[in-house]
Structure 1
Amino acid sequence: MLRCVFPLSLIFVLNGCVTHHQDPVNTKSYEQIKGYTLVSKAQLDSDGAAGVDTYSLIRDAFGPRSIEAPDLYGKANHQGARHITELTDPDIGNYFKFVIHRDFDHDRDVLAKSDRQRNEIKVYGRSDSSLKGYLGKTFEYRWKFRIGNDLKVTKHFTHLFQLKAVKKSGSDALVNSPILTLTANVRHGRSGLEVRHVGYNADHSGTINHTLYHSTQHNIDWQKDITGRWFEVFVRANYAEHGSLTMTVTPVGEKTPLIEVHESNIELWRSGTDADHGNFVRPKWGIYRSLKAKQQLNAGEDEVDFANFEVKEVKPVY
């Protein structure tokens, strides 16, 4: 799929071309009714198994090195089989299938990290600048996902979505921890979904995990209420040291969210000791999981499905 940029106030999808656009200030859009107006928008949609090559489609949307699939990283990984493919669902249409194999997949080509593995797509340094969350900007993300019926999780992380800080110059170990994750894990002996925020500690010498939501605290059953069901996620993040966050996870076809998070005065910018505008925050989607309790995971293939990725920059209407 060719990804094009036009200075238009409407979105056109022609011959598989997804456009970015800008709205004039006086356009009364849906975003303005909600209190926000659209600055830019990008989409990544599956076009089915018979469409454009899956990896080309993703790279066209997010950049040449936006895929971190095991089959792209050397003989130590499970080569010869695509780890992201496309299928069609009767309810939501075309979607991306992400798979991972407990005993064959690793964390890219970093073989020293044998305690984890990943199959993800991401915004990164060479992605279009309109996809990057710069200091003071507000971004909205939407997508759909479905956890496979047989997926098993442990008390350790299985990240399905991350917001990660990127420091353009120098190094800072504190930047490496994701700012926000949607994570599947076990708490108090029960599997569930967690929204986790990671912020600086009091003197900025380290970071602290904060659970903003966990489904096990709300009597939500992993097998009955979560696995095998399609959900739509909405995230609005204001990137500032004292930012704001809205996040909902809603079963497709329903109006009431399963998960709902609203936070003000939350740290959503982590650039180390400087807050230079060259730094940014990026989204990541897929399966990134710990192998520290490897024997508790399925020995074969695990699956999480994704569809209808959307990245928007918005600004408040005063």
Structure 2
Amino acid sequence: MKHLYCILFILLCIPFFGFSQVTLTADGSGNTYELINSVLAPNYDVVEVPDCKHTTFGRHIDELFDTELNKNVFRFYAHANEDDDRCKNSDRQRTEIKSYDKSPENLKAVESEKVVYKWKMKIDANFQASPNFTHLHQLKSVGGDFSSIPMYTLTARKSTPDQLELRQTSTDDQETLKKVDLSLIKGHWVEFTEKIEFGTNSFYSLEIKRIDNQTIVFEYENNTIDNWQYGAEFVRPKWGIYRSLNNVQDLRDEAILFADFSIEEVSTLSLNDLKSNNQIIKTFPNPVVNEIQIIDTISEDYNQIYIYNVLGKLVDTKAKITSKTLNISHLKSGTYFFIFKNDEKIISKNTVIIQ
């Protein structure tokens, strides 16, 4: 019991407002792939490039010093005729980075989680897009029926004038939410701030701001949009150049600059949530190994159980159980917070130690 009190005291001293942020910043060392992998998936490979096809060019992502930002930045190359899709014969090509299943848990978004993605980008003043697609950013599901199509994409498209499109789907039929004249960002460093709550009928916003004069060139916000594709295990971000070759005559060799990638999970647990350990619903034993017993002692009902780890990250959700026995063998050893809710109303807050 003394051990439990010590854990709770430490937790109450942690500010649970923005609690898990990962940043990827160019350092100019030349080991660019190694740097990217060390942040997005240590000991694995998250870099998707056509190096093995276009071997004479070398690495398609490198770093350089940018005098406008006064710092090192990443440079992503795409060659219209020499590059392909990761050395496969295809109607498309890509030079991208991502998180994926081998990435740390805080880089894989799960349902009910709130995440803020930020990055800076500069496309050339003479950048060319095809009438098909040139994706610059994606939020893509892993698993489920609709994982083949990105849930969100930022796509440059040839038009009159050329456009930057924000496209979205929760199924397999994307629609354009908003578009902006691409000339507003060509030749300028711009900063993207993308905020999303993963789930149905949830929140999404995107802001694009010129860095030189702080002008907001694009704004979109929706409080009731579906941000989850059925059956998905998690959602991962992607950045880079992913474009169709169906109209290669409209394309040219491109070098797009990126800087200061940030992925920040925003806690849904406040400090007040942790201060009150109001165990109206009984859970035992504690500590527990594989199964926990849940006993309702009140007439007020609950319909969801939210399970958070000590960092405040939502690690699992459960519908109300009828058997009174909840299997938690999939959770690692540690301290967890079980929040029982009826819609948005918190019914009970229980601290559980899993051995």
Give the TM-score normalised by the residue count of structure 2.
Answer: 0.68
**Greater relative contact order (CA < 8 Å, ≥ 6 in sequence):** 1
- From 148, 151, 158, give the equivalent of 2:134: 158
* Shift, 1:254, TM fit: 3.5
Look up the match of 1:227: 186
- Structure 2, unmatched stretches of 5+, are 1-9, 273-355
- From 73, 76, 81, give the equivalent of 1:95: 73
In the TM superposition, 1:12-91 aligns within 5 A as: 37-48=17-28, 51=29, 53-63=31-41, 64-71=44-51, 74=52, 76-91=53-68
Q: Does 1:181 align with 2:153?
A: yes
* Shift, 1:27, TM fit: 6.0
State the distance in 2 between where 1:245 and 1:196 align: 12
Q: Is the 8 A contact 1:78 1:105 kept in 2?
A: no
Q: Deviations over 1:245-266 (max 9, x none)?
A: 0110100143441111101121
* Shift, 1:286, TM fit: 0.3
* Shift, 1:79, TM fit: 4.7
Q: Does 1:142 align with 2:114?
A: no
1:212 alignment partner AA = L
Structure-2 change in CA distance of 1:86 and 1:268 (3 Å):
same
2:99 alignment partner AA = V
State the distance in 1 between where 2:227 and 2:175 align: 13
Q: Is the 8 A contact 1:148 1:303 kept in 2?
A: yes
Q: Is the 8 A contact 1:122 1:282 kept in 2?
A: yes
Q: Deviations over 1:70-96 (max 9, x none)?
A: 11xx3x344541111111112211100
1:82 alignment partner AA = R
Q: Is the 8 A contact 1:247 1:262 kept in 2?
A: yes
Structure-2 change in CA distance of 1:149 and 1:25 (3 Å):
farther
State the distance in 2 between where 1:246 and 1:214 align: 14
SS of structure 1 residue aligned to 2:38: helix
- Structure 1, unmatched stretches of 5+, are 1-22, 201-206, 217-221
State the distance in 2 between where 1:39 and 1:227 align: 34
Q: Is the 8 A contact 2:30 2:63 kept in 1?
A: no
Look up the match of 2:102: 126
Structure-2 change in CA distance of 1:26 and 1:244 (3 Å):
farther
Look up the match of 1:310: 262
Q: Does 1:193 align with 2:193?
A: no
Q: Deviations over 1:5-56 (max 9, x none)?
A: xxxxxxxxxxxxxxxxxx966666xxx8xxxx112011100012xx251111
State the distance in 2 between where 1:294 and 1:231 align: 27
State the distance in 2 between where 1:103 and 1:78 align: 13
1:304 alignment partner AA = I
Q: Is the 8 A contact 2:76 2:256 kept in 1?
A: yes
* Shift, 1:155, TM fit: 1.6
Q: Does 1:116 align with 2:87?
A: no
State the distance in 2 between where 1:209 and 1:142 align: 23
Give the TM-score normalised by the residue count of structure 1.
Answer: 0.76
Q: Does 1:284 align with 2:238?
A: yes
State the distance in 2 between where 1:196 and 1:315 align: 27
SS of structure 2 residue aligned to 1:156: coil
Q: Is the 8 A contact 2:60 2:78 kept in 1?
A: yes
State the distance in 1 between where 2:62 and 2:149 align: 28
Structure-2 change in CA distance of 1:212 and 1:56 (3 Å):
same
Q: Does 1:106 align with 2:78?
A: no
Structure-2 change in CA distance of 1:307 and 1:262 (3 Å):
same
* Shift, 1:153, TM fit: 0.7
Q: Is the 8 A contact 2:48 2:95 kept in 1?
A: yes
Q: Is the 8 A contact 2:189 2:212 kept in 1?
A: no
State the distance in 1 between where 2:57 and 2:131 align: 31
SS of structure 1 residue aligned to 2:167: strand
* Stretch moving more, 101-110 or 132-141: 101-110
